Amino acid sequence: MKPGIEWRQPRAAVENEQFADDLHAALSRIPKAISPKYFYDEVGSRLFEQICDLPEYYPTRTELALLQTHAADMAAQFGERVQLVEYGAGALRKVRLLLDAIPRDNLQFVPVDISGPHLLSACDGLAGDYPGLAIHPLVADFTRQHALPACVEGSRRVGFFPGSSIGNFTPAEADAFLRLAAAELAGGGLLIGIDLVKDEDVLHAAYNDVEGVTAAFNMNLLDRARKELGAEFPTDGFQHLAFYNPAYRRIEMHLRAIRPLELQLGGEIYVFNEGETLHTEHSHKYTVEGFQALAARAGFKPGKVWTDPNHWFAVLWLEA
Ligand code: AVI
């Protein structure tokens, strides 16, 4: 690890046990459903990066274009001195556009991510490209209480949550996260990317790419269960399923049993009927006004909005 990067350990990291407990709970409920956070081991994080470059997956390139065009205007909302906290930091690709728009001396960067190895290698790359930048990676589940480093005197704390990742939360989880963020960002604000409601065909294509990368990303959850927890099930028994559910304005991803089958996990047997699914992810699509109302209920004051000509994606500034 490069000098200048301060390494902060997760507080409670018995990750396998948590995965096993959550998978047992997921397979016991009706309908079966698990948190999408289990997509993101090293393999899953790499597959997600490939998804971001797919021609069908418009959110990444649309948001990047918004950041490229408006970074200076976005950074102008932050104030002079900033502690920039990136929630779910991943590859640290988008934040570079913001970092370029803020004088380095006035900046402390705190990327927060649950995947330690991935975060640290991304920070190494960033430190090489941004010498002198104060980087304080924090390996943590940012949806739970976590301890951020103290802000430098006179700084505002600004959150950055790009990628429309908030769409993967249930409305209750989104509300809880926004409340937590509004509290820890008080006096600063949050810059957040959201995916907008749009034509269903565009959405369907984005989650059913022809190369099958999204399918591999979804199936990786089962690979993890086999490798990390010793789960046993027929490898050819499940298929990727993704569709738009207009009632909830969300894409749903599932792993569907193509025939009746059993999944064994830690001495328990879970039965899948033909066509039964394990719901692995929802990806909510918002309107700008709907999201601003959600944020206002959580304690934010809606500010500037940047969107693309198709109105497929938006980046919102929210004062905390
Ligand atoms: C991370 N998140 C915003 C992605 C999404 O679009 O909901 C995850 C994803 N799932 C399938 N493709 C991409």
Where are any strands of DSSP class E within 20-62?
Answer: 32-33
- Report pLDDT digits (tens) over 176-208: 999 999 999 999 999 999 999 999 999 999 999
Q: Tell me, in angstroms, the distance from the centre of ligand 1 to residue 152's CA.
A: 34
Buried b (16+ CB within 10 A) or exposed e, 262-295: ebebeeeebebeeebbbbbbbbbbbebeebbebb
Decide if pLDDT at 1 tops 60: no
Q: Tell me, in angstroms, the distance from the centre of ligand 1 to residue 4's CA.
A: 32
Range from 18-22, 60-64, 119-123, 226-230 carrying the lowest mean pLDDT = 119-123
Q: Whole-number mean pLDDT of the chain?
A: 94
Decide if pLDDT at 11 tops 60: no
Lining residues, ligand 1, CB within 6 Å: 51, 59, 163-165, 167-168, 207, 214, 281, 283
Q: What is the pLDDT of residue 89?
A: 83
Decide if pLDDT at 15 tops 90: no
Classify burial at 210, counting beta carbons within 10 Å of its beta carbon; exposed 0-12, middle 13-18, buried 19 or more: exposed
Query: 């690709």: which residue's tokens?
Result: 93
Q: Tell me, in angstroms, the distance from the centre of ligand 1 to residue 268's CA.
A: 31
Decide if pLDDT at 14 tops 70: no
Q: What is the pLDDT of residue 12?
A: 38
Nearest CA, atom 2, ligand 1: 165
How far is Cα of residue 89 from the mean position of the Cα atoms in its chain? 8
- Report pLDDT digits (tens) over 109-133: 999 998 788 789 899 999 999 999 9
Mean pLDDT of 221-232: 97
Query: Are the C-beta atoms of 242 and 236 separated by less than 8 Å?
Result: no
Residue 251 CA: nearest ligand 1 atom is 7
- Report pLDDT digits (tens) over 144-181: 999 999 998 999 999 999 999 999 999 999 999 999 99
Q: What is the pLDDT of residue 226?
A: 97
Tell how strand 238-245 and strand 250-257 pair up.
Answer: antiparallel
Q: What distance in Å separates the CA atoms of residue 209 and residue 254, rounded to the nearest whole number?
A: 15
Q: What is the pLDDT of residue 13?
A: 46
Classify burial at 121, counting beta carbons within 10 Å of its beta carbon; exposed 0-12, middle 13-18, buried 19 or more: middle
Q: What distance in Å separates the CA atoms of residue 108 and residue 156, rounded to the nearest whole number?
A: 10
Q: What distance in Å separates the CA atoms of residue 182 and residue 163, rounded to the nearest whole number?
A: 19
**Percentage of the chain exceeding pLDDT 90:** 86
Nearest CA, atom 3, ligand 1: 165
Which H/E stretch holds residue 25? helix 15-28
31: preceding bond cis by omega (within 30 degrees): yes
**Percentage of the chain exceeding pLDDT 70:** 96
Q: What distance in Å separates the CA atoms of residue 137 and residue 306, rounded to the nearest whole number?
A: 28
Residue 217 CA: nearest ligand 1 atom is 11
